[in-house]
Chain A
Amino acid sequence: MVTRLSLLKELSALIADDVLVVSSIGNNSGFWGQLKDREANLFHVTMGMCTSTALGLALALPNRKVLALDADGNLTLNLGVLGTVANEAPKNLTIVLMDNRNYLGSNKKEPGMPTATAGKMNLEEVAKGCGIAGACTVEEVAGFRAEVHKALSTDGPHFIRARIEALDNDRPPRNKRVPDPRENKYQFAGYIQKTEGVEILGSGLGGG
């Protein structure tokens, strides 16, 4: 089995600069912010909200590729979103699920508490049952590289479940400050305004 860091390193090497990445709270955001400091990142999306946020973004910008960097505990909090993704069927959406089969494994020396995927739940099968026919599972770097490459070059929605180590024993060096949610909002919205020509922030008549 692989670590989260090794897959995120691989993702950082193969993802195009203009792919919008929506990352869940915890080490998905923390590691990605160290590995890939860029304006096209939306960080810190909380439990149950990562894939739904990426879905809304993908539907709003159908010509822009969007990648959700989700996690097992985060997704299972709001699992119904997979049915919505399948029915709305955004061609530009890829969900990468870091499945470490526990809550809080990202911060501890021993696994936190098991998620349902530590037991009988298989999120690849759940995604397929929801109607995302091409859902797949990867367990090593080469398979991950191939599936992400395929997802980013063909019509989605795509669902890639990555079975990763329960604990994040390898970590990137912390030499960047990951922006807080408000700074990140201005950065990400400003980048989309600039590259898509849409108005996001401009509103109101100012103070006075």
Chain B
Amino acid sequence: MKSEKAQLVVNGLKEAGIDFAAGVPDAQFIEVYKMVEKDPGIRYVGTANEAEAAGVGFGAWFGGKKPALLLATSGLLVATYHLARINLLHEVPMLVVIPYRGDIGDPRWLGLYKKTTEPGLNAMDIPYRIVSRSADIVRSIKECNESARAWLKPVAVLLNEEALW
């Protein structure tokens, strides 16, 4: 991901009011993680796995923070049990931002995530928006977070095509 696009993701988080983030880095999103970690307005917690990140974000919400999870498509699979509990049992909001690796156009051997990402989000009843153009990044992150907080459930933003590559 080019640093201008990574900056748009961070701008979206800031405009959404995100002040807390947790996750495990993804190769295509590494600039986003570095910028978020440096940002004085966002408390970033690097965790050992993505389920742990979901728990940390869940706890931070109860402390008045507006949390985001930064998850790889592989990491979404690791986080599913805790995300499903957070969504379906506790009903607590969480923005989930995912660089959509494995979608059509990804030249690497990651097609497995095409089969797991959207069906997995649907199975967990986590609404999502796919963002394909960098011009839509900021607005979509903001809108997804607004919906998450109004609906008291996690909502995901998936970045693919020109918005990611």
**Residues of A in contact with B (beta carbons under 8 Å apart):** 22, 42, 44-61, 64, 78, 80-81, 83-84, 88, 181-182, 185, 188-189, 192-193, 196, 198-200, 203-205
B115-134 Cβ-contact flags toward A at 8 Å (1 or 0): 00000000000000000000
Given contacts A181-B90, A185-B92, A204-B149, A48 and B51 within 8 Å (CB-CB): yes
Question: Whole-angstrom distance between the alpha carbons of A196 and B90 in the complex?
Answer: 21
B138 interface contact, C-beta 8 A: no
Contact status B43-A59, CB under 8 Å: yes
Asked whether B55 lies within 8 Å of A59 as measured between CB atoms, the reply is: no
- The reply to whether B52 and A60 form a contact with Cβ atoms under 8 Å apart is no
Bound together, the chains give a CA A150 to CA B135 distance in angstroms of 54
Residue contact A188 to B62, C-beta cutoff 8 Å: yes
Instruction: Identify which of residues 36-61 in chain B touch chain A, using a CB-to-CB cut-off of 8 Å.
Output: 43, 45-49, 51-61
A26 to chain B, nearest CB (A): 15
**Which residues from chain B contact A59 at a C-beta distance below 8 Å?**
20, 43, 45, 56, 59-60, 63
Docked CA distance A52–B67 (Å): 14
B56 in complex: contacting residue of A44, A46, A56, CB < 8 Å: A56
Q: Report the tally of A-B residue pairs with Cβ distances under 8 A.
A: 132
User: Is B107 among interface residues, defined by CB-CB distance under 8 A?
Assistant: no
Closest to A184 in B: B90
Q: Which of A51, A52, A61, A80 has the most CB of B within 10 A?
A: A52
CB nearest neighbor in B for A198: B64
B82 at the interface (CB under 8 A from A): yes
Chain B neighbourhood of A188, CB < 8 A: 62
Residues of B within 8 Å of A81, CB to CB, are 47-48, 52, 55
**In the complex the two chains form, is A46's CB within 8 Å of B85's CB?**
yes
Q: Specify the main secondary structure of chain B where it touches its partner.
A: helix
Chain B residues with CB under 8 Å of A83's CB are: 48
CA distance A188 to B61 in the complex (A): 11
Does B82 lie within 8 Å of A198, measured CB to CB? Answer: no
B27 within 8 A of A: no
Are the C-beta atoms of B62 and A196 separated by less than 8 Å?
Answer: no
Given A49-B54, A80-B47, A84-B47, A192 and B59 contact (CB-CB distance below 8 Å) = no
- Please give the distance in Å from A160's CB to the nearest CB on chain B: 19
B46 to chain A, nearest CB (A): 7
| Chain B contacts for A64, CB-based, 8 A | 63
Closest residue on chain B to residue A53 by CB atoms:
B59
Residue of B nearest to A54 (CB): B59
Cβ-neighbour of A60 out of B64, B81, B151 (below 8 A): B64
How far apart are the CA atoms of A24 and B61 in the complex, in Å?
18
Shortest distance in angstroms between A20's beta carbon and chain B's nearest beta carbon? 8
